[in-house]
Structure 1
Amino acid sequence: MSPLPSLVIQAERLVELGVHEIAGLTADDVRAFAREAGGERVDVLLAVHPDRAPASALAPLLRREDKPGFVVVDMPDVDDFTPCGIEVPDAPLYLVEGLDRGDHMANWSPEEALPALAKDARTPLLLTEGIHWLLQAPEVLERNRCFMTIGSRLRKANGSLDARTPAIWISNGTGRDGRERRDAPKVGWCWWGNRHTWLGFGSTTGRDGTRPAA
């Protein structure tokens, strides 16, 4: 996969898409953060905290073959999938380091992948981080090379975790997606214990310059 654009270019991309307005920030806020974080760096992703820019607002900004992204109709609670076991910087903007699509984990279940990522000192991406990645590098989403973002989970009222896990892939335009959405980026979900040959596991080595514990 090609490297990310520089942070200053990423900032302009977010401003162009209006992400700063979704997050309640000014364009100058985003640009200043990018410059101060090392504006020409191409090895990190600029992300907005999920509390500021939820998945439901970001997904429609995705594009593939000139078709907008969407959230599956049976995931109306997509924004209730929040960071689980992951420390996200307490800031509107932060950096995500060492991105990996996790192709080598294709045909693993989330249940199998999570401990393996931890063993390698990596943490799974949040759903919003995965969307941010594709906003900056749409080519990362390929047919048969898509990815789950199991850092975001839904906790039920009784404290247990919902068995659904978020993922981003490409619609085939079947069923309730609709023919007009064929080839569009799709935010959906998979079961915690199920395997899919075409889904890896997006992960990171750290956020905002920190690294997860081994």
Structure 2
Amino acid sequence: MSSLVMRISKEGFPIVFDLLEMEFERQVTNLVAKGYPGIARMTESAFRKQLEPLKDKAASLPPWTNETELPEGYAPFALVVKSEWVDSSRAIQLVERQKKAGFSVMDEQDMCRFKPIDGIALPAGVAYLLADIDTGRQTLNVTPNDALPRLLAQGRSPLTLEEGIALVTHFPELLKKNNGFSLLGSRCGDRRVTALWISQGKPKLGWCWAGNPHTWLGSASCLERIGTDNIANEKNLEGSFKVCSHNS
């Protein structure tokens, strides 16, 4: 059955939450409007068909009543299209916040080096859902190295680079001038951690050092990743980063 969610949040989302199915459709339509089907070399019909099985998963998420405001910096779920279909360098340019497009100081090759850290299992398929997302207000001014074990102790998982872009694609107003967020779930073998913040009024994808705190950067996380057939099992994350190996 459908579940009601809060219709507006403290973030001032430019959308109205009603039914979870309606929010899912809003996100699919948002991706279509941004040209995702063409970038993924699919027709709109084929693209929607790939995403359709996730609709029931979204509808089964815990409900929010219209008497309950969404916590600040929170989103109930976000639809993530994998970078194999829409690469991150293109996706960040399609983010729009207050009529300003996103950009990155990283080139496509550099972005491709950032892979999910050990213990993060991405669901199979073209796309999946992130559920119970927090942009990390409680980890502002906490280094990424220190934030990771804190998130794990809460039973949460850090967002990857592509998941962060997906979040601000659907919820651009979650990105605040004084509350950007690090994406601890992706590493490339050095001390850098990618992050999203506002620069010159625009959404920016950049990086910071894992050992440096910033008063304006938290660490984004989710409760789970949900695919069409199963919920991704995220075991074996430890209290420190395990950098990914890469061939690119």
Normalising TM by the smaller chain, what interval? 0.7 to 0.9
Query: Deviation string for 1:52-101 (max 9, x for gaps)?
Result: 22221111111123221111158861221111121111211111111011
Q: Could you tell me which residue of structure 1 aligns to residue 241 of structure 2?
A: none
The alpha-carbon deviation at position 49 of structure 1 amounts to 1.4
Amino acid in the other structure paired with 1:61: L
Is 2:46 the counterpart of 1:29?
yes
Q: Could you tell me which residue of structure 2 aligns to residue 139 of structure 1?
A: 173
Q: Could you tell me which residue of structure 1 aligns to residue 91 of structure 2?
A: 58
Which residue, 183, 199, 202 being the options, matches 1:184?
A: 202
**Cα RMSD (Å) of the superposition?**
2.3
Amino acid in the other structure paired with 1:195: P
Q: Could you tell me which residue of structure 1 aligns to residue 111 of structure 2?
A: 78
SS in 2 for 1:114: helix
Amino acid in the other structure paired with 1:69: G
User: Structure 2 regions of 5+ residues with no counterpart?
Assistant: 1-10, 62-75, 237-248
Q: How does 1:174-213 map to 2 (within 5 A)?
A: 182-208=200-226, 209-210=231-232, 212-213=234-235
Cα distance change of structure 1 residues 12 and 117 upon mapping to structure 2, 3 Å threshold: same
Instruction: State how far apart, in whole Å, the 2-side matches of 1:187 and 1:99 are.
Output: 19
TM-score, with structure 1 as normaliser? 0.83
Cα distance change of structure 1 residues 74 and 16 upon mapping to structure 2, 3 Å threshold: closer
Instruction: State how far apart, in whole Å, the 2-side matches of 1:62 and 1:88 are.
Output: 22
Runs of 4+ residues over 6 Å off in structure 1: none
Instruction: State how far apart, in whole Å, the 1-side matches of 2:135 and 2:91 are.
Output: 19
Identity across matched positions, percent: 35
Instruction: State how far apart, in whole Å, the 1-side matches of 2:221 and 2:133 are.
Output: 6
The alpha-carbon deviation at position 129 of structure 1 amounts to 0.8
Conserved 8 A contact 2:54-2:128:
no
Q: Could you tell me which residue of structure 2 aligns to residue 11 of structure 1?
A: 28
Cα distance change of structure 1 residues 195 and 113 upon mapping to structure 2, 3 Å threshold: same
TM-score, with structure 2 as normaliser? 0.73
Q: Could you tell me which residue of structure 2 aligns to residue 170 of structure 1?
A: 198
Query: Deviation string for 1:132-162 (max 9, x for gaps)?
Result: 11111111011101101111111xxxxxx21
